[in-house]
Structures are given as C-alpha cells and as structure tokens.
Amino acid sequence: MCAYRDEDPRLHDLKTKIRVVPNFPKPGIMFQDITTLLLDPKAFKNTIDMFVERYKGKNISVVAGIEARGFIFGSPIALAIGAKFVPMRKPKKLPGKVISQEYILEYGRDCLELHVGAVEHGERALVVDDLIATGGTLCAAMDLLERVGAEVVECACVIELPELKGRERLNGKPLYVLVECFECCQ
C-alpha cells in the first residue's frame, strides 16, 4: 500500500509505475522496483521535474548520487539545476584519492566512498537515491559530505519505506520523498 505525498496528479501516475517484486533480494522483502518507471518517458520526466522544481534556485552546487540507482535520478537533476554531479560509490570503484565512510547493515557492514576534492568546503549539497529504507546509506553519504565541509541541504528519494524509520537516522536533516510505501517488509 502506497500513499501520495500530496495531490499533485503526477504523483498518482508515478506510483502506478513502480513495480513491487516480492521476495527480492531475500524472502520477506517486497522490493520497490523503479525500472518500470524509467520505461515511461513521461512519468520519468515528471519525476525529475518534481525534484527540479523543488531545488532550482536554492543555490545547490552539488548533487551527490548514490550508486547505482541514485545516478539515474541524480544526474538529470544536477544538469537541470546547474549543479555538479558527484557519484558516491561502493569501495574501489572510484579511481584516485577517496575518503570512505563505513556504515552498518542488517548483517555486517558496507562502505561508501567520495572523491577527495570533488566537493569543497561550504558547498550546498543535495543527496539523491531512489529509495530510503533504514537510512544507513544516506546517513553515510551525508557524513562524507559533512566531513569535507559541505552543507547537506536535503536528502531526496523517489520512495520512502516509513516503517523502517530511515528518516530518524538522518540526524535532523530534511528528507523529501515523492511516494511512501507501507507493508514492504514482512
């Protein structure tokens, strides 16, 4: 069951384009698949437009996209608002000097990396991913940006799973999402 954030008619269309795949990547998870949204050029464009309308004119100089689905949304947003695009990647993907941030998963740990010098002190940043679940990845991304002195203005995702309380993990940083989905984990 998914709720709409408000009555923007574009959101209704968007919600119908997201496909739910049961038991992926493991039993009990109802995976929110945005690839079907990308197959509808108008819905995909509407998605980007809604973010761009919110962030244009807010002096955002950096859009940080989280590998890999954050690249799909982050890159067009960056281009449209005239910001740099900075990929936040899994370990050993970025060449050259990086800084890393470890974060906790349900079982074990993972790590996110950012290029040294990509983001400068005082820059205003937006962090983009397709979905926020527990908030671990977004939190690591924010930490990395703050460590280099950037100001994280907001985190933006297409989908939120509110029951997993990811929002609370963002240390008070605002989170903006287009669609909320409930009962996605059993």
Window contacting other proteins (CB under 8 A); options: 86-94, 105-113, 143-151, 158-166: 86-94
Strand 98-104 versus strand 109-115 pairing type: antiparallel
Chain positions 43 to 72 lying near other proteins, rule: CB under 8 A, are 44-45, 48, 65, 67-69, 71-72
Under the binding rule (CB under 8 A), the answer on residue 122 touching other proteins is no
Which segment (6-14, 88-96, 166-174, 175-183) binds other proteins by CB under 8 A? 88-96
Is position 116 an interface residue for other proteins (rule: CB under 8 A)? no
By CB under 8 A, residue 181 contacts other proteins: no
CB within 8 Å of 16: residues ≥ 6 apart: none
- Quick one: CA torsion of 167, 131, 133, 168, rounded to 10 degrees? -10
Does residue 83 interact with other proteins by CB under 8 A?
yes
**Active site members:** 69, 106
- DSSP letter at 23 equals T
Closest CA to 47 of 146, 156, 123: 156
Q: What is the DSSP string of 88-117?
A: EBSTT-S-S-EEEEEEE-SSSEEEEEEETT
Residues interacting with other proteins, by CB under 8 A?
19, 21, 24-25, 31, 33, 35, 38-41, 44-45, 48, 65, 67-69, 71-73, 75-76, 78-79, 82-87, 89, 92-96, 115, 118
